[in-house]
Structure 1
């Protein structure tokens, strides 16, 4: 269904819209085969097709290609002076997809920036909060790397003690076996605990910070609605 009302649509537009919207590969092939004709269409038709093309790229996991075409959609939504609620929804969806695409190509800082901006618009959207948490979790603070480094050292010490136990202690110092066994078990346990602690602490921190931001944005949005209702 067209997003914009018009008494006439071009043949290129009609042919594109006749394709099943979930047939993402067919939409991509049609767009790329008729790109020059599509770019010469009037703005509303061009935007409508461009949006579906970008959505198809995103749905097929063509993250880098999607990032090349999503910014014009965002700019178009910003520049249009419309009272319709369609463009704000398309703008929010385009921002969300951009954030997800950046996440998948490991541009975590840029992805977080986009998702934080979207959080200001849609703090009630659980998908935004979830993706923002994932994005923050992928950005390791120093203490995570430090805990992992300590964990690796402890595992190396465990391997060394285990080697000594089999090659030397059991053959030449059998009286030390209980002590060495306790030592290697302690090293293994310490390595597991320290490595897991850093990761778990970071996940908890990520959830807390995103939850705090979401709560602040919800309060701002509610206050803004309240002020508008009083005017």
Structure 2
């Protein structure tokens, strides 16, 4: 019974994360002169890209090949975006909100699945970050944007922080669903705070300045 409840909770996180990431991908595609099918594809790769890479690294069949629900949820996300497009467009931070929620949920799902596979904690944290970020990287490449992961925003670091919280809480024998909620909340909270207060990593610039070149 506990295992069933555990599975159900992970599944819920996974499905909510799929919807959130699909909406974020579709919303971003809407400004790129892409048709409905193209928007669906962008939403789908955003939702399943990171999890696919994770499963390939774990040497298991990608999750979406075993359950068509993820394809259906992406379709629902597209319909929601089309039906409520006026509201989505009016809310300038819609993309950020959905992307942040998806990041937190998918990071937790990636950590949990890797943990169940018996991998070391540092590998689980990396798998969580991959699950949360790679879909967005693929999305950005397809629509010709610099991937958010490689900009100065706090993004992958939020996933790593969530992973650390996950394993610290686990050491204190906290209920596993609570651990997962805390980890996801940590990722979301750090991402929100970083954007709100403009907390960013310094830009790497190893080139000489223009003044130096002119001398």
Higher RCO, 1 vs 2 (CA within 8 Å, ≥6 residues apart)? 2
- Larger % of helix: which? 1
Shorter-normalised TM-score: what interval? under 0.3
Q: How high is the TM-score relative to the length of structure 2?
A: 0.25
Q: How high is the TM-score relative to the length of structure 1?
A: 0.24
